[in-house]
Amino acid sequence: MSEREKLRRRRGEKIKARFTVDEQGTVVEREVASAQAVPGWGEADVPKGLTVEAMLARSLDIALGLLYHERVLMLKDLVDRVVEVWKVQANYTYDQFRQAADRDPRFQVLHGQIIALAEEPDPLGLLMDRLERDAHP
């Protein structure tokens, strides 16, 4: 199997997750994207000659621009937008992106799932307001 095929196959990796959905403790099980899945866009390939580190560095630069507009995003949403803007197949996992963002002083990573600009004063509040607005337009 070629490297291209391996990366494409890893795009759809899922895990089963359990969520408590109400105050009564109702638990539901859903499939969600694995942190070890690899993001990609359409039929795109990994740019030739780019190492994982180089691709992560460029991806973080793109993420920075996206967050200047959005201010805060969920990890998967941000990474998916990065590969869509760049129109590439990534050679890193969502978790590798999270780790790189966590080390980068331009970002803050909350609960391993939420990414905002380092200077954003209340990313959780901003995200909750956005979710509330989306739920009740």
Domain chopping of the chain, boundaries:
40-135
What local confidence, expressed as pLDDT, does residue 35 receive? Answer: 82
What local confidence, expressed as pLDDT, does residue 86 receive? Answer: 95
Question: For residues 8 and 57, is the Cβ–Cβ distance under 8 A?
Answer: no
What local confidence, expressed as pLDDT, does residue 76 receive? Answer: 92
What local confidence, expressed as pLDDT, does residue 94 receive? Answer: 94
**How distant, in Å, are the alpha carbons of 4, 7, 82 from that of 46?**
8, 9, 13
Q: Which of 108, 135, 107, 109 is nearest to 35 (CA)?
A: 109
| CATH class for the domain made up of 40-135 | mainly alpha
What local confidence, expressed as pLDDT, does residue 42 receive? Answer: 81
**How distant, in Å, are the alpha carbons of 2, 7, 136 from that of 12?**
17, 10, 31
Three-state secondary structure call for residue 135: helix
User: What is the reported pTM?
Assistant: 0.81
- The segments of the chain whose pLDDT lies below 50 read none
